[in-house]
């Protein structure tokens, strides 16, 4: 039996790349949105992901099997209200995604309006408006192949009659609604939105039309409703105005920006959102304030702890992340490349899901005569004020001062992850933390070497987030006894690179 959504009289969080992740979707619903769209997710990224029940967070995670990145995360609070937007140029892949995801999302939307080169060159986004047979095949395949509603989002064409004709053709596939952005593929947000064009489409169709593109005139909920009236629709999806201040949906008027940011950070910590994604969304909220003292602190931050400290939420962040860590969350620090067979394909082992099992690398027995020293240490660039203070630089100076040969670095790459091993003074040093690039892997291994040789302090590495406290250490005792922690250690979810994807669960 097919499920249904009434797309009339709806205020919608529009799909926005890097913005429409779980914390922002939940924030929009909390402030009064009726439906929330995910960011556009490309079909092949979802098809190589595996579904994982995250019992610590109470979420469903779809995890990229090549590097552990969370492609999509959802929770019960948005059930029945979250619409998955996919980027696709293939009916076959679109249907496969729809059938895989239909139990975890309320509806599926096909992006037919993205004007970016990446989408167009791949035959996706606005390119589908100029390939009507393919566009219709995708929508028809989804309508027939999934139990949940299917919609699409388009841009207007330069010729309004052509726009109306196109919308009618798409309507004939059986979709339940259509979102219309009132700009052409060559127009940008600074260009005026064509409200008359949206109204022409709305008056020509019998399915609901969701107006989009009016953020320049929207600062509060009343403005959203007036935009809908001018476009002859009852529903509106809001993008940039919600990105700037998500409380634009509130019936009682928008809240001060700092209040919105604090609530967004609370949700980001609660749902273990990636620091890089969290930082980006807060930057979009600050807009011109990025040049203010607070904005500069944000730009310099890399970890969730550093971001939360700016808004006096550091203690909440520390306590939550340590609680998750000791609860056994499978986070970034546990990520390993997938086990590979001899031909490079994933190894199937029993019936256990690879999200929980195959992310562990099976190493061959260590026959190297030099002892291997290993710690779970990550490299966080913002912990080091200049190049001379970097771990590799410190280790070089340590060697010179003690008359020792320079360290030799060997880097191993598996899937999209890197791990370095150092040979130094008759021993080997490595971190069990797999980094997202070669340079950071070498710096992490250098930190392990410095730690083992007494140059770096374990307490200092815990304090600045490079290491986590042991479960039976002082921080763990505080958590177990009081439910909180006074330790400054960064939590399980910290990403240690600039604008890098979060590897949440492995």
Helix, coil or strand: residue 415: coil
Is residue 298 domain-shared with residue 227, that is, in the same domain? no
Are the beta carbons of 304 and 494 closer than 8 angstroms?
yes
Q: DSSP string spanning 268-282?
A: HHHTT--HHHHHHHH
* Residue 497 covered by a domain: no
Which has the higher per-residue pLDDT, 24 or 346? Answer: 24
Handedness of CA 297, 298, 300, 302 (dihedral sign): positive
Is residue 155 domain-shared with residue 47, that is, in the same domain? yes
> Of 229, 255, 281, which marks where a domain is finished?
255
Given this model, what pLDDT does residue 158 score? 95
Is residue 394 domain-shared with residue 450, that is, in the same domain? yes
Domain that holds residue 320: 256-334
Is residue 127 domain-shared with residue 211, that is, in the same domain? yes
Q: 158: buried, middle or exposed (CB in 10 Å: 19+, 13-18, 0-12)?
A: exposed
Is residue 153 domain-shared with residue 202, that is, in the same domain? yes
Given this model, what pLDDT does residue 484 score? 36
Domain total of the chain: 3
Does the structure show a pLDDT above 70 at 357?
no
Is residue 36 domain-shared with residue 92, that is, in the same domain? yes
* Residue 491 covered by a domain: no
What is the C-alpha to C-alpha distance for residues 166 and 186, in angstroms, rounded to an integer?
Answer: 18
Is residue 91 domain-shared with residue 240, that is, in the same domain? yes
Catalytic residue among 114, 281, 308, 449: 114
* Residue 350 covered by a domain: no
CATH code of the domain covering residue 152: 3.20.20.70
* Residue 304 covered by a domain: yes
Token pair belonging to 108 = 């599926």
* Residue 345 covered by a domain: no
Does the structure show a pLDDT above 70 at 343?
no
What is the C-alpha to C-alpha distance for residues 183 and 55, in angstroms, rounded to an integer?
Answer: 43
Given this model, what pLDDT does residue 231 score? 98
Is residue 411 domain-shared with residue 421, that is, in the same domain? yes
* Residue 65 covered by a domain: yes
pLDDT digits (tens, 9 = 90+) for 150-190: 999 999 999 999 999 999 999 999 999 999 999 999 999 99
Are the beta carbons of 374 and 431 closer than 8 angstroms?
yes
Residues 6+ apart with CB under 8 A from 437: 418, 497
Is residue 290 domain-shared with residue 216, that is, in the same domain? no
Q: How confident is the model over 318-330, as a mean pLDDT?
A: 85
Is residue 203 domain-shared with residue 320, that is, in the same domain? no
CATH code of the domain covering residue 431: 3.30.160.20
What is the C-alpha to C-alpha distance for residues 133 and 112, in angstroms, rounded to an integer?
Answer: 13
Which phi and psi (to 5°) does residue 354 adopt?
A: -70, -20
Helix, coil or strand: residue 36: strand
Is residue 94 domain-shared with residue 156, that is, in the same domain? yes
Is there a catalytic annotation at residue 114? yes
Dihedral, CA atoms, 101, 102, 104, 105, nearest 10 degrees? 100
Are the beta carbons of 124 and 41 closer than 8 angstroms?
no
pLDDT digits (tens, 9 = 90+) for 243-253: 999 999 999 99
pLDDT digits (tens, 9 = 90+) for 186-222: 999 999 999 999 999 999 999 999 999 999 999 999 9
Is residue 381 domain-shared with residue 391, that is, in the same domain? yes
* Residue 483 covered by a domain: no
Q: What is the enclosing helix (H) or strand (E) of 41?
A: strand 41-42
* Residue 435 covered by a domain: yes
């Amino acid at each position: 039996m097919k499920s249904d959504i009434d797309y009339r009289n709806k205020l919608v969080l529009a799909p926005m790349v890097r913005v429409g992740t779980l914390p922002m979707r939940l924030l929009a619903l909390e402030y009064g949105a009726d439906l929330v769209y995910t960011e556009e997710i490309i079909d092949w990224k979802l098809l190589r992901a595996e579904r994982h029940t995250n019992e610590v967070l109470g979420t469903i995670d779809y995890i990229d099997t090549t590097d552990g990145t969370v492609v999509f995360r959802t929770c019960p609070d948005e059930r029945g209200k979250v619409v998955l937007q996919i980027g696709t140029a293939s009916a076959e892949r679109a249907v496969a995604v729809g059938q895989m995801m239909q139990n975890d999302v309320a509806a599926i939307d096909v992006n037919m309006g993205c004007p970016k080169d990446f989408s167009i060159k791949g035959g996706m986004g606005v390119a589908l408006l100029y390939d009507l047979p393919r566009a219709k095949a995708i929508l028809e395949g989804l309508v027939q192949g999934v139990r949940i509603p299917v919609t699409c989002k388009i841009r207007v064409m330069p010729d309004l009659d052509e726009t109306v004709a196109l919308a009618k053709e798409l309507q004939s596939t059986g979709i339940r609604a259509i979102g219309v952005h009132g700009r052409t593929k060559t127009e940008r947000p600074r260009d005026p939105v064509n409200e008359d064009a949206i109204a022409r489409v709305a008056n020509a169709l019998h399915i609901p039309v969701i107006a989009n593109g009016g953020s320049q005139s929207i600062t509060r909920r009343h403005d959203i409703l007036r935009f809908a009236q001018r476009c002859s629709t009852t529903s509106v999806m809001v993008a940039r105005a919600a990105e700037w201040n998500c409380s634009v949906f509130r019936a009682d008027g928008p809240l001060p920006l700092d209040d919105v940011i604090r609530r967004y950070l609370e949700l980001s910590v609660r749902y273990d959102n990636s620091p890089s994604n969290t930082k980006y969304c807060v930057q979009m909220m600050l807009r011109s304030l990025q040049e203010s003292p607070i904005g500069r602190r944000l730009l310099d931050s890399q970890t969730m702890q550093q971001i939360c400290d700016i808004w006096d939420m550091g203690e909440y962040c520390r306590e939550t992340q340590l609680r998750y860590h000791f609860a056994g969350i499978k986070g970034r620090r546990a990520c390993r490349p997938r086990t590979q067979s001899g031909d490079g394909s994933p190894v199937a082992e029993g019936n256990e899901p690879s999200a929980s099992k195959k992310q562990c690398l099976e190493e061959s027995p260590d026959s190297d005569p030099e002892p291997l020293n290993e710690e779970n240490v990550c490299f966080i660039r913002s912990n080091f004020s200049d190049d001379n203070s970097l771990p590799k630089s410190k280790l070089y100076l340590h060697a010179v001062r003690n008359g020792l040969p320079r360290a030799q670095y060997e880097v191993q790459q598996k899937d999209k992850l890197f791990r370095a091993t150092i040979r130094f003074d008759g021993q080997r040093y490595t971190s069990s933390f797999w980094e997202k690039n070669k340079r950071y892997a070498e710096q992490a291994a250098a930190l392990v070497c410095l730690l083992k040789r007494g140059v770096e302090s374990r307490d200092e590495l815990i304090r600045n987030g490079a290491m986590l406290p042991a479960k039976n250490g002082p921080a763990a005792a505080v958590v177990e006894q009081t439910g909180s922690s006074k330790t400054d250690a960064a939590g399980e979810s910290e990403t240690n690179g600039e604008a890098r994807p979060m590897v949440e669960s492995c």
